[in-house]
Structure 1
Amino acid sequence: MAQQAQRSLLNTLFLWGTLILALILVPLKLVLQGLRWSEVGMFLLMYTLIGLSVTIGYHRLFSHRAFRAAWPLRLAFLVFGAAAFENSALWWSSDHRQHHRFVDDPEGDPYAISKGFWYAHWVWVMEGAVRPLEAVEDLQKDPLVRWQHRYHFWIGAVVALIPVYVGWATGNVWGHAAIGLLLRIVATHHSTFLINSAAHRWGSQPYSDTNSSRDNAFLAPLTFGEGYHNFHHKWQWDYRNAAKWYQWDPGKWLISLFAWVGLAHGLRRVPETQIQRARLDMEAKRLAAVLASTSPTLTEDLRERLGLAKARMEEALGTFQSRREAWEALTAEWKAKGQARGAAWQDLRGQWKSERSRCQQELRAAWADWKAARLKVLAFDGAS
């Protein structure tokens, strides 16, 4: 998909201008006035509201349809997301869907890391390639999205100037403008841009190595959970970016909260068995590479043990997944008939719980067997 490259004067002036002004005016402000807690609070409030609107709204809701939201929530995301000054939700989603479709392809990916770190980070914005809206017909049906697309710059300006309004009311326009407006714009831009650049350059690939995406826990706090990018590229439609409960992803926690209060529904998530299977395949691939560097005669027993452990793990995952799917289908059938109640239903639920417990026990045993085989290979590699 060829793109016509041209320099966007407006984008270039805005990105460089806000950065240079922040580098000059923020230190000057700190030297002359110091830093007030009200300024820090305003910066954090605006950075959080706008950043969450980008990750939850622009990214997970509009770009990937990972969940559905009531109109007040969509409106809030569109209003505060506009203050990121990263274009309208429609354009943002179009570019991002193309990124996933053509990831790493310098011709199709708008911010391909294969064209360099800084290109993926922000040069692509300043280059201003002419890209038509693509694959966003679903979003164009939403009147709120169309409204924001038409007026996003003015909406963003009104919202972004909230710190200035507060500064005017409290007699501290200069401090709030420097910290809450200017510094916040730069921080929002470059934290978002780091996902396009750093999250495609540094980090781990626990789920897939078919593209450059990486999990980077250091980026997660800056981007409200977006740092787990390898997981996201593997299952872009999942409302989470961090699959494990302890991984920092306030986006997924808030979406769950919105669902609990009735503002969101239809949350999509990949089954845990698929996640484990992906991890298993990646580990097996890396361990096979370790064994391939050694004479087959020396590692024959290790290969056999690793193969048996992987086969046991795959069987346990397959059994658990098939049993779960069968139970979900049975549950849907009983609910459709209005029979999901009474003694017969409770008996079925009890049978499923017992079967699920047996499957989970086998999974734990198979995973322990796999880990033991993995450690043997790694120990052999260390000794050699």
Structure 2
Amino acid sequence: MKIKNWDIFAFIVFYHIMVIAMIPVAIDVASWGAFWLFLVTYIIGGMSITVGYHRLYAHKAYSANRFFEWCILLGSTLSLEMSALKWSHDHRIHHNHVDTDKDPYSIKKGFWYAHVLWLFDYERDYNKSLVPDLLKNPRVVFQDRHYLALVLLVNLTIFFIGWLMVGPLASFYFGVLLRLAMIHHSTWFINSLCHTIGSKTYARELSAVDNAILALLTFGEGYHNYHHAFAADYRNGIRWYHFDPSKWTIWICSKLGMTEKLRVINEIALQKALILKDKKLLLEHLSKEVDELAGELKVKLEELSTTFEQQAAAILLKGRELKQASESQQKDIQKEIKVQRASLKVTWDQWVVLTHKASKSYQLAH
């Protein structure tokens, strides 16, 4: 790999050396105040990336008012991950060309390349057609044009506030260096570890995986396989027990009038999409097998997928009837929908068992 971005290389190497070299000093000046300074700036910087850069700007998973946007655009300068415009531009390329040579941080080029090395040799071929919506946003354009000035303003302000709280050395180490290193590696692990170690529930054909442990460090971004399968959803963790504070923040802000139009993948639509994906992938693999079990699995896959589609269509039809029905008719239709949903759940459960059996029997990726 040939280093092309020497400024980025020098900056990242420099602050990593400083983080390590200043450990004795950090131990000496450590305090609860220093810890809270680190934690608050880490959360603001990290959440501004996940909630703002990623889900708002890169994927348009919801919309936000001006106050919310300014909080994101200023808070994100604590992460030093480029402007929202450039970040979103590169991320859209990543999703459009994931796992190919056109992917800026493709895991196919190696773990460490996807983690950080891509930053040193990446040459941005800026394509305005990828971000026309963001180029029409005056706040995003302003941040892009004045990014360095905003970075200095926000970070120096934080440093001097920390100086008053815990002293200059503690403020510099915990409020700047350590915070920066943690935010960067948390983001980078999404590009590397979340394309390496974890489960593939939603898009088995992709390298992206779900990693619940990483979700703890990345404000919910660890559910990466789901995200690559359904990038338009404002959630990454779709279950109630999934740790996704970015999702909770967006939802709470919607109740406060700061965000709206939260995009959610319907549960039935989600399951239908998964069945179509799994069916295509499994049939491709099973077509290469000639034993009796493979034949039985292929027949069962076709039967269950057809049954699910018919049941899902019936529920959708009843849902339309419900909207047009009189009050006296609605109760009966709701009962019918309840029965249909129960049947659909049985079919879905059978599908899950069948796909696991096929994956295990023929050692397919799961």
Pair in the same fold by TM > 0.5: yes
Matched, 1:110 2:107: no
State the distance in 1 between where 2:120 and 2:176 align: 21
Which segment drifts farther, 285-294 or 50-59? 285-294
Q: Where does 1:36-75 land on structure 2 (aligned, <5 Å)?
A: 36-75=31-70
SS in 1 for 2:212: coil
| C-alpha deviation, 1:277, in angstroms | 3.2
AA matched with 2:201: P
Which residue pairs with 1:16 in the alignment? 13
Q: How far has the Cα of 1:264 moved from its partner?
A: 1.2
Q: Which runs of 5+ in 2 are unaligned?
A: none
Q: Is residue 190 from structure 1 mapped to residue 212 from structure 2 by the alignment?
A: no
User: Are positions 1:121 and 2:118 aligned together?
Assistant: no
| C-alpha deviation, 1:89, in angstroms | 0.2
Moved more, 220-229 or 6-15: 6-15
Distance in 2 (alpha carbons) for counterparts of 1:372 and 1:111:
35
Task: Specify whether residues 31 and 223 from structure 1 end up closer, same or farther in structure 2 by C-alpha distance, changes over 3 A only.
Answer: closer
How far apart are 1:329 and its partner, in Å?
9.1
1:218 deviates by: 1.6
Match for 1:316: what amino acid? F
Question: Which residue does 1:339 correspond to in 2?
Answer: none
Q: Percent identity?
A: 32
Structure 1 residue 90 displacement after superposition = 0.2
Choose which of 24, 27, 49 in structure 2 pairs with 1:28: 24
> What is the Cα deviation at residue 83 of structure 1?
2.0
Aligned partner (choices 332, 337, 344) of residue 363 of structure 1 = 344
Of 127, 137, 142, the match for 1:142: 137
- Cα distance in structure 2, aligned partners of 1:44 and 1:96: 26
State the shift of 1:101 in Å: 0.8
After TM superposition, list the pairs within 5 Å mapping 1:201-212 onto structure 2.
201-212=196-207
Find the counterpart in structure 2 of residue 341 from structure 1: none
Which residue number corresponds to residue 312 of structure 2? 320
Deviates more, 1:365-374 or 1:225-234: 365-374
- Residues 171 and 58 (structure 1), Cα distance of their counterparts in 2 relative to 1, 3 Å cut: closer
Equivalent residue pairs, number: 361
- Answer whether contact 1:68 1:264 (CA < 8 A) is retained: yes
1:141-160 to structure 2, matched below 5 A, reads 141-160=136-155
> Do structure 1's residue 350 and structure 2's residue 346 form an aligned pair?
no
Q: 1:277 maps to which residue?
A: 272
Structure 2 SS opposite 1:257: helix
Residue 210 of structure 1 and its aligned partner are, at CA, apart by 2.7
Amino acid at match of 1:149: D
CA 1:321–1:23: 2 relative to 1, 3 Å: farther
Map 1:149-298; keep pairs closer than 5 Å: 149-170=144-165, 172-280=167-275, 296-297=291-292
Larger CA deviation: 124-133 vs 371-380: 371-380
Q: 1:153 to 1:276 in 2, by over 3 A?
A: same
Structure 1 stretches of 5 or more lacking a match?
335-343
CA shift for structure 1 position 321: 4.8
Offset at residue 327 of structure 1 (A): 3.0
**Matches of 1:251 and 1:47 in 2, distance apart?**
14
Partner Cα separation in structure 2 for residue 129 and residue 195 of structure 1:
21
- Contact kept, 8 Å, 1:80 with 1:156, in 2: the verdict is no
Alpha-carbon contact 1:6-1:129 (below 8 Å) kept: no
Equivalent residues of 2:58, 2:92 under 8 A apart:
yes
Contact 1:117 1:198 in 2 (8 A): yes
